[in-house]
Amino acid sequence: MLIELKNIIKDYDNSGVVTHVLHGVDLSVEEGEFIAIMGPSGSGKSTLMHTIGFLDRPTSGEYYFDGIDTKDFNDDELAQIRNERIGFVFQSFNLLPRTSVLDNVMLPLLYSNSKKNHEHRAKVALEAVGLGERLHFLSNQISGGQKQRVAIARALVCDPKVVFADEPTGNLDSKSGSTVMYILEKLNKEGRTIILVTHDINVALHAKRIVTIRDGEIVSDKKVKEEDRIHSKESHD
């Protein structure tokens, strides 16, 4: 099992005011799955993703990543896992402005244990998302859809076990969104684990399993029937 959560609780304490966000969440994800986490605003879906992705620590509960209990990991160990075994794609792209596409994708490699072939690895990642001819464009010279594809390439450059995508189509038009979902589907077919957070059922139906969270609790966990799945066709903006 790649990811296993047991009775995960997450509270936030703001000057003595405690907000309970996750209430005893149990979740298992096998390597190679493509799951969508759905829920309305404030349901806890982003907090759940941040917890699974080691961006935040749970208040209590057990979290096993690749069979290892993560409770005793220090901050440096968590940072290394985030860098080398997890890739993140966010709605807002989070690219460095006035910096080349190539340099944006190489950035995670600067913090990894790998010291060689940074440029080659970044080029391969960009070619995988159809941007091999945009290497030296600045990030503010490309479209929104292309920015998200750069963000996916950056997430892939360290060859992670799992890619988290938080509302990856939220700022895109329908054509660019379809391209992004096609790329995520392709990565999953190649064996990559994809965890997608979305409020849009039409985006969620690209996944093979939909987990629904409401008021900090998982209320549904269902496989998507093949006839109900939405498949994206390749198109490049």
Residue 135, C-beta contacts closer than 8 angstroms, at least 6 positions apart: 100, 101, 102, 123, 126
Cα separation of 90 and 162, whole Å? 14
Check if the beta carbon of residue 40 is closer than 8 Å to that of residue 11: no
Residue 214's pLDDT is 96
Tokens 């209430």 appear where?
23
pTM: 0.92
Structure tokens at 42: 């404030």
Query: How many Å apart are CA 208 and CA 103, to the nearest integer?
Result: 33
* pLDDT at residue 233, rounded to an integer: 61
SS3 195: strand
Q: What is the pLDDT of residue 235?
A: 45
Consecutive 10-residue averages of pLDDT for the chain (237 residues):
97 94 97 96 93 95 96 91 92 91 94 82 95 93 94 94 94 92 95 95 96 97 94 58
What's the CA gap between 73 and 78, in Å, rounded? 6
In whole angstroms, give the CA distance from residue 150 to residue 164.
15
Q: What integer pLDDT is reported at residue 237 of this predicted model?
A: 45
- 14 three-state secondary structure: strand
**What pLDDT, on a 0 to 100 scale, did the predictor assign at position 2?**
96
| Residues in the chain, total | 237
